[in-house]
Structures are given as C-alpha cells and as structure tokens.
Structure 1
Amino acid sequence: MSGCPFGQTGDAAGVERSGEPNDVVTSRGASDGGTAATAEAVTPRMSRRGLLSLAGVGGAGAVAGLAAGFLGHDAVTATAASASVPAAGEAVVPFFGDHQAGITTPAQDRLHMAAFDVTTEDRKELIKLLKDWTAAAQAMAAGDPTGKTGAVDGPYDAPPEDTGEALDLAASKLTLTFGFGAGLFEKDGKVRFGLDGRRPEALIDLPHFPGDDLQPGRTGGDIVVQACADDPQVAVHAIRNLARIGFGKVRVRWSQLGFGRTSSTSRAQVTPRNLFGFKDGTNNLKVEDNALLEEHVWVAPGGPASEQWMAGGSYLVARRIQMHIEIWDRTSLREQEGLIGRTKGVGAPLSGGDEFSTPDFAMAGRNGEPLIPMDSHMRLAHPDQNNGVRMLRRGYNFTDGSDGLGHLDAGLFFIAFVKDPRTHYVSMQLAMAKGDTLSVEYLKHTGSGLFAVPPGVQAGGFIGEGLFA
C-alpha cells in the first residue's frame, strides 16, 4: 500500500531481527542529518556481541576457541582485548544536518520513543534543557557517553553523568529525532514560554477518529523523542539519559518500544512484514525520492513569519495500533488477502503482477466484483484514492505482554512524517476509519500524538533554536 495508517504492505524479507549493530556499513549523506542513500563499505569486523552470538551458549571458552580457529592461537589474546571496543566512527549517523536524522535515514531495526510533559514554566530552563539534550544527543549518536566525565570517570561520591549500559557498544546507527506538541505552546488556556503566535497552523489537535479508543496515558505530550538504532540497548540508553538530564524539568508521559521495522526508507532495504504476516511499506517514500520528499514531507519556506522556524522540518504522526491477533489468526487466507488487497506471500496486488506492480483497481473477477475489494486496506490507502498525497512511514512492530484478558497486547506503532497533517493524514485516516474493514474489525487505536519536528541542528546550535529566536 502506499501511505496507509496501518500498512503499505510491502518492502522487506531479509530484515535483521537480532538487534545487533551492523559492523560492516556506515550510512552517510548530506541532507537528512547526513543519511542520504549512499552507503560506505568499511572493513568488516566482528563486534563483541557478534562473537558471543556466534559462539552460542558455550561461554568464554567457546569464544576463545572460535577466535583461535579463525586467527590462530597467538591472536586470541589480542582479539579478546580489542573486540569489545568499536572502531571509531563505526555505524554512525551524523547528528547535524539540514534535516533531523531519523526521518529519511534508512530505517533501523529498533525503536524507543518517548513523549515528555514539560513541568517547568521557566523559558530559560527549557532552552537550557534543549541545549543539554542537543549535546547529549550528539554524543550518543557518535557512540560516546553523555557528559564530560561519562559513566565511570567522574567523582566517586557523585552520580555518574552517563548511566553506562551502552559502554563498549557501537553507535548502532542511533538517531534521535525531536518534535514539539501543542502543549508546549499553550496549556489550560495559557500561553507558555513566550511562544504566543508561534504555534504552526498545521499543528492541529487531531480529531477523534471513528473507532478510536485512546488512552490518556498513551496520548499527547509536549515534546517527543524518537530513538532508532540497530541495537535495542543503545536506543533505550538514549531515552533513559535524556530523561535523566531532564529531571525536574520534564517527566515521561508515555513511551513505546518497537522491534522490527515495518517500513523501508531506502531502496537498499527490502520490505519487512507486520504482525499480520503481510509485507508492509512497499510504496513508502524513500530517501532517494528527493522531489517527492519536498512535495510531501518537508515544510517549505515562505509561510507566515511566525512559522519560518519550521522550514525544512516536518510533522510526526504517532499512532499506537493494537491488532486483534487471535481473531486474525482464525481468519482464512482468502479473507486475509481480501482485507489487505495483496497476496500474503509475494505481496503482489490481487490484480496481478509482483510486489511492486501498479494495482489495477478496475480489474474485475469472474463474479464481476473488483479483484481488489472496495473495502480493502490497500485501495483505501493508495495515493490514487487520496488526491495523490503520500507520507513517509517509519513504523515498528510491538508486543507489550497481554491485555489482562488472555490476549496479546501487540500491534503496529505507526509513525509517519508529513508536510501537513491536515492534507496528508487526517482525510485519509477518516476514510480508513469509516470504510476499511481491516481497521474496523481487526485494529484498535489506543494512543495518538502529533508533533512539529523542526529542521536539523547546525553545529553550535540547539534543537528548536529557531522557535526561540
């Protein structure tokens, strides 16, 4: 599908599921925080975790034996000493750039997203926090600890300036993407932080869509931070340290862990699958689609003077979508494919072809009915049915235990970046909520958020600097 709020069923088989850092490729580029489509090959090396995983459960002796087999007995000691220290710059996505990293950056395998409520009402304190977060984010994206003394080099009788669980781990392509919610500008009828007239018109209060069952503890927030990485511990470490730095100024409103991307944001990536088993993200916008990104993702300059701080930024839509897994698993393959509009194996449109074939919505079967049903997910989400608008999706699968009734609390954490949610999200979601049988019978939206994502940070600047200029 193309830009649907659940799945653009398409892009991947061959997704890394280990959560381990990729030690072979470093993604770099110019526009998205340095993450354009080029991938520089570097000398392959095996990380400490990679060596352990190859050794299985054999412990240190197995690791030593494996290393000896590859390198010879005399090299084992040197390998053991160096394997835990990642090479400089390994798997690093640059933090600075025209756009924030973590939008068109090739989608990593793990997510930790958190929304914060700002508890201070002091503008200077908020600006200092954003500056401190900028410094910490830059350090962590480079694979370094936060603070001047890190986790172990500070005063022995004082709390460390980094929590330490990412010591010896590679940067794992960590990206940190920041956005501002409506509550940062106004709350309880009062303007905050001197930002009167600075809230963009596109930063709307999302409507209550049919079928929404939103939980207050999973909805909204003044500031959101999206941490993506190929190692779950690296992503969790990032959010944990931002929360630690923000103590007394912010508190976590909600957070979400995600495993297994459900979108591809580069043509170098294959199409992943969602928890319904279908390919997800076939027609997603990609980093290579420069003209389409300008048209559908990046906020253009030239708007009202009060909103110029958003030029080069985007809007992040987050929706926590619980899947009725048990009901789906008792549904026939024929009905599953009809609900999606694609084949489950190859991911081709039901009108024929392969995964990337253009769907023929007019093609009818022997009974005269469209081969791609009128209420199918792909038909209702396709750009041809939505005035040509598209979005860039970066969703993740999640499993949060059970719901207390013996059912899995699992589904899709939908993330999309759009130029304007009024034109690129709301109308499509309304159509999906009303006419998409999949959404009506098999999905439940339990969390929601909309955030203004400012442009990238330049060296010497800080997150959202233009907003406070």
Structure 2
Amino acid sequence: MTSPDTQGATESAGRVSRRGLFGLGAAGAAVVGAGVVAANTLFDEPPVAHASSTSDPFPFYGEHQAGIVTPAQDRLHFVAFDVTTSEKAELVDLLQEWTAAAARLTQGREAGAFGAVGGAAEAAPDDTGEALGLPASGLTLTIGFGASLFDERFGLAGKRPAALAALPKFPGEQLIPEISGGDICVQACAHDPQVAVHAIRNLARIGFGKVSVRWSQLGFGRTSSTSRAQATPRNLMGFKDGTNNMKLEDADLVREQLWATAQDGSAWMAGGSYLVTRKIRMMVETWDRTSLAEQEQIFGRNKGEGAPLGKKAEFDLLDFAAKGADGQPHIKDDAHVRLAHPSFHGNAHLLRRGYNFVDGSDGLGRLDAGLFFIAYQRDPRKQFVPVQLSLAKSDPLNEYIKHVSSGLFACPPGVRDAGDYWGRPLFE
C-alpha cells in the first residue's frame, strides 16, 4: 500500500541550550518512581502552538501525542522494542524515565539533567552527546504499545483494546518476523536525522536491562502531507504521494476517523490512535523500465502534476465515471487511487505519514529501497484492513512491491503535564 505523507537559542537570549548546564545539582531534581528526574517544570519553556521554522520545537504536553497530526517532518527513526523485564513496576518506572527524557529532548535539551558533560567524570554521561549544539529541529516522539505487551507478564490482558486485533494475512505479503511486531514502538520524527537518531539512541540507553531493540527503520523524504501548508511529496516511484491524505485542518474528519474514544471500548485509549506500519520494498529496477503510460494507469494519476487522469490539477476531484474519447474510463477499475479511495470502503480514511527508505543494496546489486508506510486511525479493523485487502487482491502495483514488515500499535493519549507519563491510564 504505497499511498496514503531553534531551539538553538543561547543562554544570552535567556533560554537554555542542549549544551547548557542547569547548575542546580541534586536540588534541582524531583524523583518520580525509581530514578526518574521529573523536574521538567523547572526547565520547560512556555509551549508554542506550532514550530515556526524547521529548527523550532513542537510542544510535548497536550491532549494528544505529538507526531501524529503534527506537520510531517523530513526525517524518521522508528524503533520497536521487546520488554525484557518481567516486573510491572520496572516497566512503569521506565515509561516515567522515558517521558521525562522525551519532554527534554523534544525541546532541544539533553536527555538527562546533567547532560553529556555535566556529571561526574567517573560516571557514564546522562546524554550521548552527538546532538550537542543542535536545535530541536521539530523533534516529536510518539509511543505505541503492541498486542504482545498485553500477555500474562504485566496483568494487562484485560485491557487489550479490541481494535488491537491481529491484522489478517494479506495476499502476497512476505513478512519477516524479525522486523515485525514488538511490545513497544517509538516514532522519532525531526528535520535533522541526527536529532532523530540521537533521541532513539538515548531512549534505548535509558532502557538498558528493561527493553531491547527488536528492529528499527530510518526514513527520509516524507511521503505524505499532514497539513495543507505542506506541498505533496513524492515516493521513490516518482509519483506524488498522499494528495488525498487526511489533514490536521480537517477537524471533523480527524475527530471522527483518527482519535479513539472511551465509547470505543478501551477508556485508557481515549484521545489516542492506532498505528499501522508496513515496510514495503519497491522493485525499482523493474519499475524504471516500465512505460510512463503504464505507470500512470497503475496509479490513476499523471506523474508530473499529480492530477487524476482526465484532469489537469493535482487537487481536482476524482471522477471514476469520466471517460475518454475511446469510451474507456480515464481511471481504470483497478487503478491504485480507485482501490484505495474512501468511497469504496465505507468512507474509511487514514492519516498517513510514511517515509522513503534506502537500506543499501542486496546481493544481486538491486537497491533495497521503498516506502516505510505509517498510518494512524481510530480502528484498523474498519480502516486499514479493508483498504489493504482491496489493494492486496487487485492492485497491479503489486507486481512492483513487496510487503516485508508489519506492525500494529495502540498509541495512548498525550502527556498532560510533568506529573504525567506515557501510557499512565493503562497502568492505573
């Protein structure tokens, strides 16, 4: 499924940079749980409604997690963890530690209060240091819980949401178990790849002994727009991707299609959303030898402007009944844009924010490249599953793509303030 998209201020400006040390010592830290520094209110700047440039921060606290309707950034580092501790208290402590670190990192600060160079020389640093001097770069960190977390280890089986039901096996998929699933996922998006990688690296460092990395994925060049202020990007097949994506400005649609409610059956997920990931490898060498006319017929759009076939502009309304001079529909019945369209799936929409990837080449010299598909929704059973079933069965694009990884995660509501933490309602 390939379509559906500074805080570099210095101390002299009255703001604390990543490199800045707070000089508060132990008196500046309040402990929440085991070893959690929760004195974020001492360091937090007033939240901003949006990032005015690619260097500025997005607010961390709010009703919903950032990184969902947030205007899609240019870079991604996505990771899935397996929980290795069997103690619920240790898992809760870790989520508290991660939340405190995330609140700092997303504002352009270091992961711990003493940072990379401010602690005792005999101790490991509080931060790995590779982002010293870099601005926030629009970093967002978004967490989700996989179905495997709801087993017998932590007593959470009774709180597993019905919407977190396992995805069906779709025709043609060739999933690799080692790069699928996971107990917990974290999505780091930023405009600077080093900032995104730094954030995931530090969460993994903090989680040592409690979680292990199951798999991860780097991405570049967002493949969807999540705001009308953004131009539509292109995927590695050269086509504009996500023209009809749900946008943050679509308030009624977002409320109806994106955010879970208590009435959906899991009160702890109210204000959260469900995330589906799919790593989709593209057979780019074969695609590159395919005629332009066939490429356009497969997608149902022209390659240059991105307009629906038979129309002139990208955002012209799709007309599946329109016919050309030969009496044939401009957009074929099996065109990708038609098979994925909400009108054929009970008005099911997805908020897509995927990324291109190139992971080197395989042993035959072919690029290991494609789309890391990311989609948020209120209920995958009613949204992603019917759309993907239609595509898997009938899309001629399947000749050029292969699904090799899959993930499904319940992303809880946002963190309200410094006394809150990721997923708190689930553990109460």
Q: Tell me by how many angstroms 1:303 deviates.
A: 3.6
Match of 2:2 in 1: 6
Alpha-carbon deviation of 1:403? 1.8
Q: Does 1:430 align with 2:389?
A: yes
- Structure 2: where are the runs of 5+ without partners? 10-46
Query: Could you tell me which residue of structure 1 aligns to residue 408 of structure 2?
Result: 450
Asked whether the 8 Å contact 2:139–2:189 carries over to 1, the reply is yes
State TM-score, norm by structure 1. Answer: 0.81
Are the equivalent residues in 1 in contact too, given 2:76–2:220 (CA < 8 A)?
yes
* Superposed counterparts of 1:314-393, under 5 Å: 314-393=273-352
**Residue by residue, what CA displacement relative to the aligned partner does 1:204-246 show, whole Å, maximum 9, x if unpaired?**
1111111111111110000000000000000000000000000
The aligned amino acid for 1:273 is R
Say if 2:150 is the partner of 1:192: no
Q: For residue 421 of structure 1, give the secondary structure of its aligned residue in structure 2.
A: coil
C-alpha root-mean-square deviation of aligned residues, in Å? 1.8
Counterpart contact for 1:282–1:355, Cα < 8 Å? yes
**Distance in 2, Cα, partners of 1:227 & 1:405:** 32
How far apart are residue 141 of structure 1 and its match? Answer: 0.3
> Which residue in 1 is equivalent to 2:43?
none
Percent identical among aligned pairs is: 61
Q: Does 1:466 align with 2:425?
A: yes
Deviations 1:339-378 (A, max 9, x none): 0000000000002131001111011223332110111110
Does residue 102 of structure 1 match 2:102?
no
Matched, 1:398 2:357: yes
Structure 1 CA distance, aligned partners of 2:264 and 2:304? 45
TM-score by length of 2: 0.88
Which residue does the alignment assign to 2:101?
Answer: 136
Q: Which residue of 1 is the match for residue 31 of structure 2? A: none
Whole-angstrom distance in 2 between the partners of 1:185 and 1:384? 34
**DSSP 3-state at the match of 1:234:** helix
CA–CA distance in structure 1, aligned partners of residues 48 and 244 of structure 2: 20
Runs of 4 or more, structure 1, over 4 Å off, are 20-23, 38-41
Q: Paired residue for 1:268, among 184, 204, 229?
A: 229
How far, CA to CA, are the matches of 2:361 and 2:260 in structure 1?
39
State the distance in 1 between where 2:48 and 2:396 align.
37
Candidates 180, 186, 193, aligned match of 2:145: 180
> 2:216 aligned with 1:255, yes or no?
yes
Per-residue CA distance 1:283-338 (angstroms, 9 max, x = gap): 1111111100011100023243xx10000000000000000000000000000000
Is the 8 Å Cα contact of residues 358 and 368 (structure 2) preserved in structure 1? yes
Cα deviation code 1:23-75 (max 9, x no counterpart): 9xxxxxxxxxx786x6657xxxxx9xxxxxxxxxxxxxxxxxxxxxxxxxxxx
8 Å CA contact retained: 1:321, 1:447: yes
Alignment coverage as a number of residue pairs? 391
Residues 298 and 311, structure 1, Cα contact 8 Å, conserved in 2: yes
3-state SS of paired residue (2:164): coil
Task: Report whether the alignment pairs 1:205 with 2:134.
Answer: no
User: Whole-Å Cα distance in 1 between the matches of residues 48 and 70 of structure 2?
Assistant: 5
User: Runs of 5+ in structure 1 lacking a partner?
Assistant: 12-19, 24-33, 42-46, 48-89
Shift of 1:7: 1.2
How far 1:380 sits from its partner (Å)? Answer: 0.3
- Work out whether 1:219 is the aligned partner of 2:184: no
Question: 1:65-101 CA deviation, whole Å, 9 max, x = no partner?
Answer: xxxxxxxxxxxxxxxxxxxxxxxxx601111100000
Q: Does the residue aligned with 1:444 lie in a helix, a strand or coil? A: strand
